[in-house]
Amino acid sequence: MSTITYEEIVRNIQAQKKDLSELRSVMDRARRLPEQSAISLASTGMFRLLTPNTIGGPELSPLAFFETLELIALSNPSAAWCSMISSTNGLNAAYLPLHTSREIFGDPNVITGGVFAPKGKAIDKGNHYLVSGRWAWGSGSANCAWLGGGCTVWKDGDMVKSAQGGPEIRMMLFLAADAELIDSWHVMGLRGTGSGDFEVKDIRVPKTHSVSFLSDRPRETGALYKFPVFGLLALGISGVAVGNGRAAIDTLMAHATGKSLPNGKTFADKAFLQTALAEIEADWQASRSFLVQELSRAWDIAQTQDAIPVKARAALRLACTKATRTNAHLCQRIFELGGGDALFERHDFERYFRDGAAMTQHIMTGAGTYEMVGRVMLDRPINASMI
């Protein structure tokens, strides 16, 4: 089965750079990625970055995944976010039976999505589940052929417990046509991601179409699938954040050199701007380098050992959170440095600021990550399944 390579994906995205950039305002107004644009972008491979080789996916390394999202975000952070969500949803293919993986994820142009949060209820009916639920944050769901929703599992009126003693949580995968999409995405940042709610009521989901990232073992044996799913999700968020931050810096530099002042000089000649820009660049480089360092360490372990230790996983989550939040902060500083011009959409400063701030609200890179990592550092008791 032929697979698209990382190099081909990068070339495809670079060829779409102008279109991606022009789509930003369109997506903001539509509050989603338009259907025809999604179909066109699907051919780049950007929605299947983590899908296994065995079903024709590129199965990118974590670093290549990060750098691809960073590249897309340079032109369009909302499109990069949709790529991240669909690509991480492709991790389900590593756990499902092979024939089910091919059914859902085998089409090279398929777009999928989903929400892990257990907002649904799956009633065990023997060979299938009866599923109902409503999930928020369904990024890109309007363009998806398949969706997934996290559910608690119930049988004979009782909630099923996992081996760890908590509720059994499984991701249910179903046709998007079985779900109702709800127009709830009226937000400040990442407007173009179409992250509205979706809902299903009493639909049948075969057991072969469900996954537990907490208790199931992946069918695939590649090093990529030794990475915790939540670590890869956090990595994807930070890739979009770092790309958004880089675009903001580059926009500020172009604006500064092109803006004339009454004394005949340019904004770039201002000492305060020069100092601030250097500090911002140092913050960007430092946060990215920390992330790549911890990512490389975890990848080395994944390629040589059976599992990545909790402390290495926690270090990666720390680096992802730091990169995401640092880039949001520097986008705010750039917005402030832009002065009155930053209020106007034509300069993009306000979009970088809004989108960067929105990324910090995701639970995978939220401030609570610091407490979780601190508990690991201090050897305090912790449920490591979400690290």
Among candidate residues 301, 295, 237, the one with its CA nearest the CA of residue 88? 237
Give the separation between CA 324 and CA 250, rounded to whole angstroms.
Answer: 18
153: exposed, middle or buried (Cβ count in 10 Å: 0-12, 13-18, 19+):
buried
Average pLDDT, whole number, for the chain?
95
pLDDT the model gives residue 2:
67
DSSP 370: H
Domain 112-211 matching CATH 2.40.110.10: the answer reads yes
Q: Does pLDDT of 230 surpass 60?
A: yes
What is the average per-residue pLDDT within 243-272? 91
pLDDT the model gives residue 241:
98
Instruction: Count Cα atoms within 13 angstroms, Cβ side, for 234.
Output: 29
Q: Does pLDDT of 1 surpass 60?
A: no
Domain boundaries, the chain: 6-105, 112-211, 227-386
Neighbour count for residue 263 (Cβ, 10 Å): 7
What is the average per-residue pLDDT within 130-145? 98
User: 6-105 has which fold?
Assistant: Butyryl-Coa Dehydrogenase, subunit A; domain 1 (1.10.540)
Q: Does pLDDT of 356 surpass 70?
A: yes
Q: Is the pTM of this model over 0.85?
A: yes
DSSP 216: P
Give the separation between CA 283 and CA 286, rounded to whole angstroms.
Answer: 5
Band (pLDDT 50/70/90 cuts) for residue 52 is: very high
Give the separation between CA 2 and CA 7, rounded to whole angstroms.
Answer: 14
What is the average per-residue pLDDT within 11-35? 97
Model pLDDT for residues 172-191, shown as the tens digit of each residue = 999 999 999 999 999 999 99
**CATH number for domain 227-386, candidates 3.40.50.970, 3.90.25.10, 1.20.140.10, 3.40.50.20:** 1.20.140.10
Q: What angle do CA 210, 86, 53 make, to 5 degrees?
A: 75
Are 317 and 359 in contact by the 8 Å Cβ rule? The answer is: no
Query: Is the CA virtual torsion 368, 370, 371, 373 positive or negative?
Result: positive
Q: Does pLDDT of 354 surpass 60?
A: yes
Give the separation between CA 41 and CA 187, rounded to whole angstroms.
Answer: 24
User: DSSP H helical segments within 229-367, as ranges?
Assistant: 229-258, 271-304, 310-337, 349-359
3-state secondary structure of 13: helix
pLDDT the model gives residue 192:
98
Among candidate residues 198, 176, 9, 6, the one with its CA nearest the CA of residue 104? 176
Are 174 and 200 in contact by the 8 Å Cβ rule? The answer is: yes
Are 33 and 192 in contact by the 8 Å Cβ rule? The answer is: yes
What is the average per-residue pLDDT within 101-121? 97
